[in-house]
Amino acid sequence: MKFTLSSIAMITVLIMGTTMMTARAQSGFETEPVLKAKDLVAPELLKGPHFSVDDRVPVKGFLAYFTIRSDYGTFQRLQGVNGLASIVDFAAAAKTQDETRFVAGSVNILARYHESVAPIAVTTAPGPIIGRTTNGTLVIPAAVDYVAWTERVGRMAQRDDFKAPDRTTWLSGQMSIRARKEFTARGWRVDESFSIAAER
């Protein structure tokens, strides 16, 4: 059985809490621990061709805070957001430099939204990376150069799981005039030309 990073971290914290009850009773309260990444996740999630996970994993409020370093940035700006384990799995599955760059760029875009517009409450991946804010806004970050209104893009714009009262996509590149018109007609806000270079 394979667990996500969050579930493994939660189980570990609960087990540690049980085994340390005696110590806690003697000293009042215990300090939240700093765990080792290798004790929390499968080895293949700790290192890939373009990323590595720091060994030290602090626990804060029942959640383990992993720091993922890649050739294209450090994934720690979304700490506290539920579902980050799905992005770790997605990043670990990247087989090429382009795939790694796409994941890192998209996560950086989502982090910028989280920091400057509204807090992201939960994120999921793959297919594509998605963020949802605390007020229900759907955010799709995309480290892409150009989006044309193709059949595939048209299906994506209308997916049932993308329905939300407020939805937006942040792109590193741009959309064609037709694609922007079609997305807008379907209730999307489109933000183009987000600078990934500014995130490095």
Number of folded domains in the chain? 1
Q: Which of 7-16, 36-45, 108-117 comes out lowest in average pLDDT?
A: 7-16
Q: Which residue has the higher pLDDT, 26 or 101?
A: 101
Residue 81: pLDDT band by 50, 70, 90 thresholds?
A: confident
- Residue 53 has a pLDDT of 84
Q: CA–CA separation, 57 vs 81, rounded Å?
A: 15
Q: CA–CA separation, 176 vs 195, rounded Å?
A: 18
Residue 53 domain boundaries: 5-199
- Give the best-scoring range by mean pLDDT among 15-24, 25-34, 52-61: 52-61
- 103-113 CB burial, b ≥16 within 10 A, e <16: bbbbbbbbbbb
- Residue 147 has a pLDDT of 94
Q: Which residue has the higher pLDDT, 11 or 97?
A: 97
Pairing of strands 174-175, 146-147: parallel
What is the mean predicted confidence (pLDDT) over 90-104?
A: 82
- Residue 74 has a pLDDT of 65
Of 73, 67, 44, 64, nearest to 55 (Cα)?
A: 67
Question: Is the predicted pLDDT of residue 167 greater than 90, yes or no?
Answer: yes
Each residue of 133-160: pLDDT tens digit?
999 999 999 988 999 999 999 999 999 9
Question: Is the predicted pLDDT of residue 175 greater than 80, yes or no?
Answer: yes
